Amino acid sequence: MKKLRGNILDCIGNTSLLALRKVVPENGARILLKLESENPTGSMKDRMALAMIEAAEADGRLTPGGAIVEYTGGSTGVSLAFICAVKGHPLHIVTSDAFAQEKLDHMKILGAELEIVRSDEGRMTGKLTRDMIEAARVVALKAGAYWTDQMKNEDQIGAYHAMAEEIWLQTAGRIDGFVQSVGTAASLRGIGEGLRRRNGRVRLVAVEPSESPVLSGGEPGAHKIDGVGAGFVVPLWHQEVTDHIERVSTEDATAMAMRLAREEGLFAGTSTGANVIGALRLAARLGANATVVTIMCDTGMKYLRSYAAKHPRD
C-alpha cells in the first residue's frame, strides 16, 4: 500500500514503468513506458513546474504570494497552475487556441489567468512560439511578476535527473536506449545526463515533428503534436547529448496514440505516440536482448475533444 501523503505535491513522481505487450516490434528490444500520466495533473510537467518554482522560492527570486507568468502550450501551464494553487501564487498564462481546449479549461479551473494568442488555423509554428514568448515577457515586465521562462530555465533539469534515477532503479540498470520528444529539450537532456552518469553507453534518441525538423537540419513548419517542435532550435537543446534524431509526422503520432489506446489500453497524447514510434525504431535497431525506455508524457484526457472530433463514428 502507498503511504499517507501530507501534501498533494508529495504525489509528484515515482511513477510506474510498464512493458508494452502488443505495440512492439518482432525480434526487437523490450519497450518500457514511464507512466507520467500518474502525476497529479496527469503530466510529466508537474515535476519541472515544482522544480522551477521551488528553486525561485529558495533563492528569493519568487517571494511568498508573488505572481508568476509563463507562456505554454498547455501541460506546463496546467502544472504551474496546480503548483501555484497549492502554494498561493497568482499565475498569468500566455497560451494559444492552437492547443487542446481541455488544457486551457484545466488552467482556468486551477485559478490561472489566461491570455490567448491567436494561431494560424490551429497550427503550431515557430512564429506562434515567439509571439507567446514576447507576450509573456511584456506581462512580466509590466506586472513585476516572476517569469519562469521554461525555454531557458535550467532549474528544471534537476527534476529530470531525479526521474533518470527512478528509471535506473526500476530497470535494475538494464537499459540500453532512451527516447523522448523535444519541446524545451529539458527532459531529454536531464534524463539523458542522469542515465549516462550510470551507463555511458545508453543510446539517447530525440524525436521531433517531421513537418518541422529543425533539430535535424530541416526547415521549420507547422504541425499538430502538442508540446513539442517549437519551430526553432531551443536554448536548452544540446546536440552532443543525443545519438540520433527521429522525425515523426503528426499523422503517424496520432495513429500510434490511437493504437496505444485500443491495443494496450493506454490513452495518451500525440507526443506519446511520437515517442513510441521513435522507441519502436530504436528497438528494431538494437535487437531482442535490449531494453528501450520512453515516456507516456500525459493522459489523453487532455485531448478528448480533438480525438472525438477526428474519430466521430468510432
Residue among 34, 18, 16 nearest 195 (CA): 34
Residue 276 C-beta-side C-alpha neighbours within 13 Å: 32
Bridge partners, residue 33, by sequence:
18, 294
Strands 30-35 and 17-19, by their bridges, are antiparallel
Rounded to whole angstroms, how far apart are CA atoms 271 and 100?
13
Task: State how far the alpha carbon of 178 is from the alpha carbons of 127, 164, 276, in Å.
Answer: 30, 10, 11
**45 catalytic per annotation:** yes
Among candidate residues 43, 75, 96, 271, the one labeled active-site is 271
**271 catalytic per annotation:** yes
Name the grid cell of 171: 530497470
Beta-carbon contacts of residue 24 (< 8 Å; ≥ 6 apart): 30, 31, 280, 283
Cβ neighbour number for residue 130 with a 10 Å cutoff:
14
Among candidate residues 45, 103, 224, 302, the one labeled active-site is 45
Rounded to whole angstroms, how far apart are CA atoms 180 and 278?
8
Rounded to whole angstroms, how far apart are CA atoms 203 and 196?
9
Task: State how far the alpha carbon of 9 is from the alpha carbons of 66, 67, 148, 227, 250, in Å.
Answer: 19, 19, 18, 23, 33
Residue type at 141? Answer: L
Q: Which residues are catalytic?
A: 45, 271
